[in-house]
């Protein structure tokens, strides 16, 4: 099992806190966001960890991990960071955003079924948008699920049929070795041939992972949800950071 943590972004919404450090190096209860993730991976006996750096990469100094830098982090987005590190593999690959905090239970659920492409999804996601005035519900990375398959993934999915469910993608993804190959082949083709907008982004280089996942879905490849139950926080704004700090202190008290 390999892990790729995507930590190249500049954290522009955090400017007063990230002028001198990447967002993943912010501390919650005396532990950085990225250290919290790595501790969980080690507890799950996952030790092959690669961090994709970019902004202030020299300040991400974690021992016993691998590093890959997205040299174009200022002009590209999450999808480009993923493909800086993704390579053919004989093992499964777990991918996480670096600005999320989650319980070990969620990773354990992801490890139970490893075939295909599987995304951590929360169906009770709306409760996480309470007290988030600077990050409204419309910015959630939603998935539309029908019969155990994800049909659509993008921000702000608001309509569904009676037999469909709307959840939120939590920024945690499991890839089988075969599906790593499928992603790499499709990305290579797109790099050579694609021009213009790419799904919900202005270009392929500026795409989010959700855009690439929708591309794969449109190609007829199954992308399946793992409905998770553990606590999870996204740290996208300073308000999120303060809310997470309060909740973590509450859980630990």
Distances (CA, A) of 57 to 10, 22, 61, 79, 157: 10, 8, 8, 18, 34
Higher-confidence residue: 155 or 251? 155
> Which architecture, in CATH terms, is 2-252?
Alpha-Beta Complex (3.90)
Structure tokens given for 5? 């943590």
pLDDT tens-digit profile of 184-229? 999 999 999 999 999 999 999 999 999 999 999 999 999 999 999 8
Question: Within its chain, how far is the Cα of 109 from the centroid?
Answer: 16
Domain range summary for the chain, segments of one domain joined by +: 2-252
Contact (Cβ atoms closer than 8 angstroms) between residue 38 and residue 101: no
CA distance 142 to 148: 15
Task: Find the mean pLDDT for residues 137-143.
Answer: 95
Q: What is the pTM of this model?
A: 0.95
| pLDDT tens digits, 100-136 | 999 999 999 999 988 999 999 999 999 888 878 888 9
Residues with Cβ < 8 Å from 45, sequence gap 6 or more? none
pLDDT tens per residue, range 147-176: 999 999 999 999 999 999 999 999 999 999
Q: What pLDDT does 253 receive?
A: 41
Other CB atoms closer than 10 Å to residue 68's CB: what's the count? 18
């Amino acid at each position: 099992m390999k892990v790729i943590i995507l930590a190249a972004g500049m954290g522009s919404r955090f400017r007063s806190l990230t002028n001198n450090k990447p967002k993943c190096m912010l501390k919650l209860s005396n532990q950085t966001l990225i250290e919290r993730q790595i501790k969980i991976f080690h507890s799950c006996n996952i030790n092959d960890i690669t961090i994709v750096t970019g902004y202030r990469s020299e300040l991400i100094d974690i021992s016993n991990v691998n590093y890959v830098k997205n040299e174009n982090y200022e002009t590209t987005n999450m999808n480009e960071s993923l493909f800086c590190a993704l390579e053919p593999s004989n093992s499964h690959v777990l991918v996480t955003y670096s600005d999320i905090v989650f319980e070990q239970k969620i990773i354990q659920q992801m490890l139970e079924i490893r075939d295909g492409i599987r995304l951590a999804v929360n169906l009770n996601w709306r409760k996480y948008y309470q007290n988030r005035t600077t990050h409204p519900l419309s910015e959630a990375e939603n998935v539309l699920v029908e019969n155990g398959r994800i049909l659509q993934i993008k921000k702000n999915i608001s309509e569904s049929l009676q037999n469909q469910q709307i959840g939120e993608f939590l920024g945690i993804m499991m890839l089988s070795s075969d599906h790593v190959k499928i992603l790499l082949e499709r990305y290579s083709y797109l790099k050579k041939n694609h021009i213009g907008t790419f799904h919900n982004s202005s270009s392929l280089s500026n795409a989010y992972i959700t855009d690439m996942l929708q591309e794969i879905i449109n190609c007829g490849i199954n992308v399946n949800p793992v409905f998770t139950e553990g606590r999870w926080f996204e740290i996208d704004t300073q308000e999120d950071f303060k809310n997470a700090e309060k909740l973590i202190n509450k859980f630990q008290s």
